[in-house]
Amino acid sequence: MKYALVTGGSRGIGRAVSCKLAEMGYFILINYQNNDAEAEKTLQLVQEKGSNGELMKFDVTDPAAITLALGNWASQHPDEYIEVLINNAGIRKDNLMLWMTGEEWSKVLDISLNGFFNVTQPLLKNMLVKRYGRIVNIVSLSGIQGMPGQANYSAAKGGVIAATKALAQEVAKKKVTVNAVAPGFIRTDMTEGIDENEWKKHIPAGRFGTPEEVADLVGFLASPASSYITGEVISINGGLYT
């Protein structure tokens, strides 16, 4: 059995990625923080893809909770390891910096940037020992271009992009790849409240993307076929920014 952990796996891109990896034969560890019903729905969809999974409820900003959850899993699977990690957990708290609160700044960075470290670091050793691993970080157009009203989100995703490039160089010789996927406007909960009719005028493809389109790219980067691609940030944005 091959195991993949998807953080923020209960909805949106995380759900689509969970389903894609299930199609590829992975047993999916679905991380989420609060929404039990949506997480259960993701698990059901994973099972409908012909695989299986389990729910792994923890806050990516809580190292103690992560240690407990991953430690419990490891004790139950002493001869197995998590070979694919998708760092997808993230939130938006948009505001102009002039009005931004410290909480709005810190929370966004804590989940995306600290969450990346908190979950990735304890899983690295087994990937290196087994000489195989795939880490895919879901970042954003905001982390490349920057977006007004998203100084916090842009900083968080930009930090993950830089960490992706650095970590990729540390682990490449052990056949562990580390890449980032930078979606533009994707039709999920994260883009609710954004005027799609207005924004799609600026997108060369003329539409928002779907979570499934992102998941197809993530699936390739999580597969053995991507073995010579590492340290890359691949945009998926309909041509909005290249």
Nearest-angstrom CA–CA distance, 203 and 209: 10
Nearest-angstrom CA–CA distance, 222 and 103: 34
| Token reading at 241 | 């920014």
Nearest-angstrom CA–CA distance, 46 and 77: 20
- 149 SS3 class: coil
**Low pLDDT (below 70) residues in the chain:** 190-193, 242
Q: Which secondary-structure segment (H or E) carries 55?
A: strand 53-57
87: amino acid identity, one letter: N
Q: Which secondary-structure segment (H or E) carries 136?
A: strand 133-138
Nearest-angstrom CA–CA distance, 151 and 124: 30
Beta carbons of 164 and 155 less than 8 angstroms apart: no
26 catalytically annotated: no
135: amino acid identity, one letter: I
The ranges assigned to domains in the chain are: 1-234
Q: How far is CA 122 from CA 150, 166, 170, 225, in A?
A: 30, 17, 15, 25
Q: What's residue 202's pLDDT? A: 86
pLDDT per residue as tens digits for the range 216-236:
999 999 999 999 999 999 999
46: amino acid identity, one letter: V
Q: Where are the alpha helices (DSSP H) in the chain?
A: 12-23, 36-48, 63-76, 102-109, 115-130, 142-145, 151-171, 196-199, 211-221
Q: What's residue 195's pLDDT? A: 73
pTM of the model as a whole = 0.94
Q: What's residue 190's pLDDT? A: 67
CA-based max dimension of the chain: 52
pLDDT per residue as tens digits for the range 68-93:
999 999 999 999 999 999 999 999 89
Residue in 3, 153, 228, 241 annotated catalytic? 153
Q: How far is CA 27 from CA 21, 49, 85, 115, 168, in A?
A: 8, 11, 12, 22, 25
For the 1-234 domain, the top CATH level (class) is alpha beta
Torsion on CA atoms 169, 171, 175, 177, rounded to nearest 10: -60
What is the bridge-based pairing of β-strands 53-57 and 26-32?
A: parallel
